């Protein structure tokens, strides 16, 4: 999968996305400063959401349209929430341009076909399908037809939902797909993160896998990295004090910077399967055990467990030789503290 200059595969660094979502809180200036701050954190990309209240739902004040599922938005009507949270479409072009100037990839989650068409006009380099849209097969088909990389969150998906979404992409000739493990709770409990799924998604479906995270802190992104995540998305806010619908579960600049650092350190720690020793490890062998003379020995005397021991440092004979050389004689005088070497030992054991 290639998104602008980023090649994302099983050997690449994690592609880290800062999710702007509603964290502009209705201010274009805040949105711009958030993009600049995302660059400072070390993020690779900034992601928007492209919808209006009317493309998401209808303005009806009935129980069906009121949030009451134990969310942080309970008591609000859907239309009112999306009207508060949406990113004005007239901002998008400027935000895309600023992101490019900052050296960030900018793309978005479309929530209907008109949003896809709009984002195509901005030459978006990729698309993100949000967790709650994974069941919208017509939207996924229409998005996949554009031939851009498509990243799909799985926060409400069972196995059938995932397979239907993948089939929709592939039917449209688009195999440039990533699946993100997600827990659609805000914030999400850490004991529901289930990061082993990151590895399973990649292996089971033959795709790039990653994490769209709503937990607090950076523990889950680090664990995801260790399970092979190649994309990590986290909500990002300039300053939590500005408030807004997503502020409570978003990371500020300091937190996001620490997360990026932790993920990059985890990548280094994972390393690769390699039994060869580094130069530093080779030098460390100086402190391993080896065979040394621990009592003065005269020429012709017998090697015993009393006058030869396996001790530190590691410049003497390998300890594996100890049983083979016991009861053999030395051919010269050796002082306590000298290394034992094979060339000073007779080839046969003493008669008993």
Please provide the average confidence, as pLDDT, over all residues in the chain.
95
Q: Examine the pLDDT at 69 and tell me if it is beyond 80.
A: no
Q: What is the 3-state secondary structure (H, E, C) of 253-319?
A: HHHHHHHHHHHHHHHHHHCCCCCCCCHHHHHHHHHCCEEEECCCECCCCECCCCCEEEECCCCCECH
Any bridge partners for residue 334, and if so which?
297
Domain ranges of the chain: 12-51+86-270, 279-349
The whole-number average pLDDT for the span 316-342 is 96
| The predicted structure's pLDDT at residue 351 | 52
**Can you give the three-state secondary structure of the chain, one letter per residue?**
CEECCEECCCCCCCEEEEECCCCCCCCHHHHHHHHHHHHHHCCCEEEEEECCHHHHCCCCCCHHHECCCCCCCCCCEHHHHHHHHCCCHHHHHHHHHHHHHHCCEEEEEECCHHHHHHHHHCCCCCEEECHHHCCCHHHHHHHHCCCCCEEEECCCCCHHHHHHHHHHHHHCCCCCEEEEEECCCCCCCHHHCCCHHHHHHHHHHCCEEEEEECCCCCHHHHHHHHCCCCEEEEEECCCHHHCCCCHHHCECHHHHHHHHHHHHHHHHHHCCCCCCCCHHHHHHHHHCCEEEECCCECCCCECCCCCEEEECCCCCECHHHHHHHCCEEECCCECCCCECCHHHEEEEECCC
Quick one: average pLDDT of 286-303?
Answer: 96
Assess whether pLDDT exceeds 70 at residue 350: no
Domains 12-51+86-270 and 279-349 share a fold: no
Percent of the chain with pLDDT over 70: 99
Tokens 């009451």 correspond to 68
pLDDT band for position 352 (cuts 50, 70, 90):
very low
| Segment 232-257 mean pLDDT | 93
What value does the mean pLDDT take over residues 208-220?
96
Q: Which CATH code, of 3.30.43.10, 3.20.20.70, 3.40.50.720, 3.40.50.300, is assigned to 12-51+86-270?
A: 3.20.20.70
| CATH node for 279-349 | 3.90.1210.10
Q: What are phi and psi for residue 151, nearest 5 degrees?
A: -110, 125
Q: Are 214 and 187 in contact (CB under 8 A)?
A: yes
Name residues whose C-beta falls within 8 Å of residue 83's C-beta, 6 or more positions apart in sequence.
Answer: 52, 53
Q: What is the mean pLDDT of residues 235-247?
A: 90
Task: Give the residue among 234, 274, 288, 240 at the shortest CA–CA distance from 257.
Answer: 234
């Amino acid at each position: 999968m290639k998104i602008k200059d980023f090649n994302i595969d099983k050997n690449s660094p994690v592609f880290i996305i800062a999710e702007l979502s509603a964290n502009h809180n209705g201010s274009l200036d805040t949105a711009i400063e958030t993009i600049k701050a995302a660059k400072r954190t070390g993020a690779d990309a900034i992601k928007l959401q492209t919808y209006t209240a009317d493309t998401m739902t209808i303005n009806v004040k009935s129980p069906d349209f009121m949030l009451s599922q134990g969310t942080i938005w309970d008591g609000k009507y859907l239309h009112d929430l999306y009207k508060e949270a949406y990113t004005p479409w007239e901002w998008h072009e400027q935000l895309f341009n600023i992101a490019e100037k900052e050296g960030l990839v900018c793309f978005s989650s479309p929530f209907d076909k008109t949003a896809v068409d709009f984002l195509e006009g901005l030459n978006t380099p990729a698309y993100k399908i949000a967790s709650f849209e994974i069941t919208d097969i017509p939207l996924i088909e229409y998005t996949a037809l554009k031939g851009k990389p498509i990243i799909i969150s799985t926060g409400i998906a069972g196995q059938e939902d995932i397979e239907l979404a993948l089939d929709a992409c592939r039917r449209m000739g688009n195999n440039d797909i990533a699946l993100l493990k997600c827990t659609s709770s805000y914030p999400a409990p850490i004991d529901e993160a289930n990061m082993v799924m990151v590895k399973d998604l990649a292996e089971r479906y033959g795709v790039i896998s990653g994490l769209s995270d709503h937990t607090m802190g950076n523990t889950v992104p680090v664990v995801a990295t260790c399970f092979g995540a190649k994309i990590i998305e986290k909500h990002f806010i300039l300053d939590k004090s500005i408030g807004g619908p997503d502020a409570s579960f978003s990371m500020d600049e300091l937190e996001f910077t620490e997360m990026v650092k932790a993920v990059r350190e985890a990548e280094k720690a994972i390393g690769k399967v390699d039994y060869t020793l580094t130069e530093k490890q080779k030098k460390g062998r100086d402190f391993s055990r080896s065979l040394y003379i621990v009592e003065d020995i005269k020429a012709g005397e017998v090697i015993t467990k009393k006058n030869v021991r396996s001790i530190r440092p590691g410049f003497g004979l390998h300890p594996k030789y100890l049983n083979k050389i016991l009861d053999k004689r030395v051919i010269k005088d050796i002082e306590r503290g000298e290394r034992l070497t094979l060339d000073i030992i007779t080839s046969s054991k003493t008669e008993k």
